[in-house]
Amino acid sequence: MKVVVAGCVPQAQPRMDYLKGLSIIGVQQIDRVVEVVDEAVKGHSVRLLGQKKDGGRRLGGARLDLPKIRKNPLIEIISINTGCLNACTYCKTKHARGDLASYPIEELVERTRQSFQEGVCEIWLTSEDTGAYGRDIGTDLPTLLWRLVEEIPEGAMLRLGMTNPPYILEHLEEMAKILSHPRVYAFLHVPVQSASDSVLMDMKREYCVGDFKRVVDFLKERVPGVTIATDIICGFPGETEEDFQETLDLVKLYQFPSLFINQFYPRPGTPAAKMEQIPAHIKKQRTKELSQLFHSYHPYDHKVGERQQVLVTEESFDGQYYVAHNKFYEQVLVPKRAEFKGKMVEVDIYEAGKHFMKGGPVEDSQPFTPSIAVPLQKGEVSGLTQVKGFSSRDSNTSSVRRCLFVHANDPTFILTNITQMTEE
């Protein structure tokens, strides 16, 4: 079997024994995956790990306009930057992705615009730290978000990705306004990792728990109902029982509806791996105790009886419902009716669970279609909307789209045959 290993691990540790003889591709070379696969199939070992630069400045990574296939034709995922400004002692990603490198605003706006022209109704912005966006290119996150909001059709939604506390503090006023916008989910993922200042210092997180509370309290006051998701690491080296109790108290105080609990694992090559480790059974016990606390409260019970507008974008894991989200990016399960997919639907909440609500469609209400175009079919290639003057959205060029899909693994074929295909 031919193997190509991609991502942070080969980028950070390309000389590991288990990678010998394998083709590997780094975090900034993913747009060259066709070359690597082609060479691997031929039996060659290829290693592409270089950093991309323009005039000496490090670039964000692969081009945003590359053709791709969306996992969900209704959702576009856009990386706004790569790398970060932190140096957390437990993190391996920094070793692989390096310092912050942001995509220019105009490229992000153009990708957003193209996505909506392909029938997308929801945009997710992602990165290692969205709050740090633009610091390397002389701009900032609110400036980008206000530009993107201009491109969002009525009924479509934008979801922000993870941001660390230090880089959101100075933008709280603007972020509250943006999260209150009707086409932006009132949702923010802000990892705290620990509520102990001494642990945060050992982690080199560059903030104290007071900073985190300031972010949460400000947004809760200015954006009523806002959802704050967070992450916590249990059993970081040096964490005492008193430190862990502070973390439990923080969770009791805010009762985060979305909480990602991680048992500390020392990643080879990181400073934290060289620190004195907490015994495994203590880490396991603390993880269990925090998980029990998290499952002891039910954040959605008080919403039973509410009437909500929800955007339907996915199918539930069991295939019994469609999955929608309300303004606060809370999960709402709705009946699996074909006319609801990709639509904004008005529902009455009749049941609540730990991680979801269930909503019944309001009688006589009509689903609203936010998409400005018919969504691509599942498996159809995004980014190939114009071919020598012909729109691949046109029915009479469907054969062109099929040819491009079938031969998308052969760029030479596309370059030499594209004119012939469009003429045919």
194-249 pLDDT, tens per residue? Answer: 999 999 999 999 999 999 999 999 999 999 999 999 999 999 999 999 999 999 99
346-397 pLDDT, tens per residue? Answer: 999 999 999 999 999 999 999 999 999 999 998 999 986 444 344 444 433 3
CB contact at 8 A, 131 and 387: no
In the chain, the percentage of residues whose pLDDT exceeds 90 is: 70
The answer, yes or no, to whether residue 298 has pLDDT greater than 80, is yes
Alpha-carbon gap, residue 209 to 317, rounded angstroms: 36
Average the pLDDT over 250-258 and give the result.
98
Strands (E) across 14-109 are located at: 23-25, 47-48, 53-54, 57-58, 68-69, 75-79, 81-82, 101-102
The answer, yes or no, to whether residue 402 has pLDDT greater than 50, is no
How are beta strands 344-352 and 307-315 bridged, if at all? Answer: antiparallel
Backbone angles phi, psi at 6, to 5 degrees: -125, 160
Confidence (pLDDT) at 61:
67
- What are the respective helix, strand and coil percentages of the chain, to the nearest 5? 35, 20, 45
| Lowest pLDDT segment from 148-152, 225-229, 254-258, 416-420 | 416-420
Both tokens assigned to 152: 């969002």
Both tokens assigned to 242: 């008193």
User: 409 falls in which pLDDT band (50, 70, 90)?
Assistant: very low
Average the pLDDT over 84-112 and give the result.
88
> For the whole model, what pTM was predicted?
0.85
Domains of the chain (ranges; CATH) run 4-51 (no CATH), 54-297 (3.80.30.20), 302-361 (2.40.50.140)
Report the alpha-carbon angle 43-44-47, nearest 5: 140
Bridge partners (DSSP) listed for residue 259:
230
Average the pLDDT over 327-343 and give the result.
97
Confidence (pLDDT) at 93:
77
User: 76 falls in which pLDDT band (50, 70, 90)?
Assistant: very high
Average the pLDDT over 170-188 and give the result.
97
Alpha-carbon gap, residue 397 to 400, rounded angstroms: 5
In whole numbers, what is the pLDDT of the chain averaged over residues? 88
Residue, of 254 and 400, whose pLDDT is higher: 254
Both tokens assigned to 411: 């760029």
Alpha-carbon gap, residue 289 to 294, rounded angstroms: 9
- The structure tokens 């050992």 sit at 202
Confidence (pLDDT) at 7:
83
| Lowest pLDDT segment from 4-8, 198-202, 246-250, 285-289 | 4-8
Confidence (pLDDT) at 393:
43
Average the pLDDT over 69-93 and give the result.
91
Confidence (pLDDT) at 163:
94
108, containing H or E segment: helix 105-117
Backbone angles phi, psi at 223, to 5 degrees: -125, 80
Confidence (pLDDT) at 71:
94
Confidence (pLDDT) at 96:
74
